[in-house]
Structure 1
């Protein structure tokens, strides 16, 4: 495109030639080479490949950031919806609890619970006292058991004397034993065997007692055996 600075137009008389010949000549000389070739050479002088790569990387980064941002937004929206549902549920529960709450009934329940607590504490105290009493009684019974075990099956001397004085059978057995005759009971408690010891000869005779023989017979037999 041609331009006129205006100086030549002021110094020269006006003519009908436009544009001026000297400018037209200059522009014609500049465009002697093909404009497409000039543009191609001009473009070749610029190295825009790094810029294109940088723009590509920027676009990729922007796309990644946008995806990350969208994901975080979706997660936040999901969490917000979940919290909103939970809030609504809690609000409903709170409203129901407030609606059914009766302060008078609550106070009565507190009084009843306090009464039960007092009764339980009293029962626990009584049980503790009873436990101590039973422990003391148990210790006394243990001591009594030790005494009885130390005395044996027949008891102490005083007990044996009292029992022997009251029991005629024991007296008879004692008389027989003093004569060297031990009467032994069987599993049923019946006296079915006699052990006769002759102290002079050192003999021992075992006699099975049969009910078909009389006591007189066994008395004579025992006596004759003891006399040897």
Structure 2
């Protein structure tokens, strides 16, 4: 019977019939895997904690900078600067409009002067027939006008025959000046003025 055998022999046969070596190797491999997994998990945790600390420091720095910016911001000064900029913008717009109007006026005046120049060039140095007959009545006046024309100055008479307007041409600068002659200024003044515009 089974119980009649020696228990030590029975245990030895039982142990011999059960091969637990592969199971022990499997358990060892599982323990090794668990250990490696724990090490990897610890390493990832340390990396995550380091990244968290870095982000926390960066957030703290940004918060401090934000607080400084808020403390330095002066809403009243900003509003005053905006008002000043609006005022400057209005002034610039107004000046641009005025310059545009002045430019149109000067263009119109230039066209009138071009037409006048074309008429004068068509008449020649002696003018048209009627003008020539009128000027022949006074040789001294004709001589003066010729001298003025040779210097680039045309003298024009009004309806009653008074010479009160001069057109000064500066060929070097390519510009034209129209001068109204006022009796309250001396001839010396106008001579200097004409000469400076012809030579300037």
TM-score by length of 1: 0.40
Q: Compare relative contact order (CA 8 Å, sep 6+) and give the higher one, 1 or 2.
A: 2
Q: Which has the larger radius of gyration?
A: 1
TM-score by length of 2: 0.44
